[in-house]
């Protein structure tokens, strides 16, 4: 329970919470914080099982910072993080990959959507140390060799952005859809971005942009 309390996203009563003296086992964390996904639902068990096998179960990690390697957008990078750091925090605060947005910080809005091995996840609900060997793709990795991805170009052509804060997450969900479904219906598009909350109301233009991009790919 003590570990869990640390993750509560609030500035509630000034309860005296000291850092854990013993350190926190990886296993305890996994029980406390699950991974949910963005537009595409995945069962968390399948996702975690690979990573779990790679770490000895009795190795305590933290609370001090640890070194991990992350494969991000095709490059392997070493970062020093606290074991409790989420992937979203590490991307933004340590690697300056700020295209990934933190909006709700609780897996409800998909603004922080990145891919792990090509599958969309909420990076705010993914511990960075759980990523393991999997390839992380962020919005910064979607355009290749300076060329916009057709979905990105289509978002521009169809004016599918307003304030733009949900846009990276929208694009991560949309590109994943077209990677897995070359000829989607509008219902497929709605399904793919159903987790991506947009407060400005860009959804109709996003539908047009994704359907049009599918035709051009």
Partner 1 sequence: MMNTKKQKFPFGIPNHNLSEVEREIPDNEPDAWPVNDQLKHVGKPVKRYDAEAKVTGKAKYTADIQLPGMLYAKFLRSTVPAARIKSIDISAAVKYPGVYAIHVIQNIATGAQEKGNESENNYPEIKFVGQPIAGVAAESLVIAEEAARIIRIEYEFQPFVVDVEEAMKPEAPLVFSAPVEQKADAGDVGVTHEDNQAQGNIRGPSTSSFWGGPRGDLEKGFAEADVIVEQTYRTQVHTHVPLETHGVVVDWKPEGMLVYTSTQNTKAVRNEMADYFDLPRSKVRVICEYMGGGFGAKHSAGNFGPMAGILSKKTGRPVWLMLDRKEEHISQGNRPNSIQYLKIGAKKNGKLTAIQQRSHGTAGVALGAGVGRVAQVLYECPNFATEQYDVFTHAGPGAAWRAPGNVQGAYGVEQAIDELSEKLNMDPIALRDIIDNSEVRKVERQRGAEKFGWSRRKPAGSDTGPVKKGLGVAQSTWPRFVELD
Q: What residue ranges bind partner 1 (CB under 8 A)?
A: 9-17, 19, 82, 84, 89, 92-93, 96-106, 109, 111, 138-140, 142-143, 148, 152, 155-157, 159, 161, 163-168, 171, 197-200
Of the pair 167, 173, the CB lying nearest partner 1 is at: 167
Give me the helix-helix angle, 167-180 and 203-216, nearest 10°: 40
Which of residues 106 and 216 has its CB atom nearest to partner 1 in the complex? Answer: 106
Minimum CB distance to partner 1, residue 56 (Å)? 26
The smaller minimum CB distance to partner 1, of residues 125 and 171, is found at: 171
Smallest distance, partner 1 to C-beta of residue 67, A: 17
- Least distance CB 106 / partner 1 (angstroms): 8
Smallest gap, in angstroms, from Cβ of residue 212 to partner 1? 14
Residue placing its CB nearer to partner 1 in the complex, 53 or 156: 156
- Output the six-digit token pair for 183: 């000829």
Tokens of 143: 């355009």
Residue 60 pairs with which residues in a beta bridge?
25
Q: How far is the CB of 103 from partner 1 (least distance, A)?
A: 5
Q: How far apart are CA 175 and CA 167, in angstroms?
A: 12
Rounded to 5 degrees, φ, ψ at 187 are -65, -35
Q: Is the Cβ of residue 34 or residue 164 nearer to partner 1 in the bound state? A: 164
State the Cα torsion 175-176-177-181 to the nearest 10°.
100
CA atoms of 151 and 174, how far apart (whole Å): 7
DSSP 80-120: EE-TT-BHHHIIIIIT--TTS--SSSSSSS-TTEEEETTEE
């Amino acid at each position: 329970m003590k570990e869990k309390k640390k993750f509560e996203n609030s500035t509630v009563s000034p309860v005296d919470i000291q850092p854990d003296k013993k350190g926190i086992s990886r296993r305890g964390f996994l029980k406390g914080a699950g991974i949910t996904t963005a537009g595409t639902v995945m069962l968390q068990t399948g996702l975690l099982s690979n990573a779990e096998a790679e770490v000895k179960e009795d190795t305590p990690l933290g609370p001090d910072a640890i070194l991990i390697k992350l494969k991000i957008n095709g490059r392997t990078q070493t970062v020093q993080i606290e074991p409790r750091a989420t992937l979203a925090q590490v991307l933004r605060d340590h690697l300056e990959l700020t295209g990934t947005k933190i909006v709700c910080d609780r897996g409800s809005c998909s603004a922080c959507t990145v891919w792990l091995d090509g599958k969309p996840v909420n990076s705010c609900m993914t511990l960075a140390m759980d990523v393991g060997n999997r390839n992380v793709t962020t919005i910064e990795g979607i355009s290749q060799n300076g060329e916009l991805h057709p979905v990105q170009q289509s978002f521009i052509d169809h004016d599918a952005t307003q304030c733009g804060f949900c846009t990276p997450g929208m694009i991560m969900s949309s590109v994943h859809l077209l990677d897995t479904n070359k000829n989607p219906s509008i219902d497929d598009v709605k399904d793919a971005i159903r987790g991506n909350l947009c407060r400005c109301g860009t959804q109709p233009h996003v539908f047009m942009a994704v359907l049009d991009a599918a035709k051009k790919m």
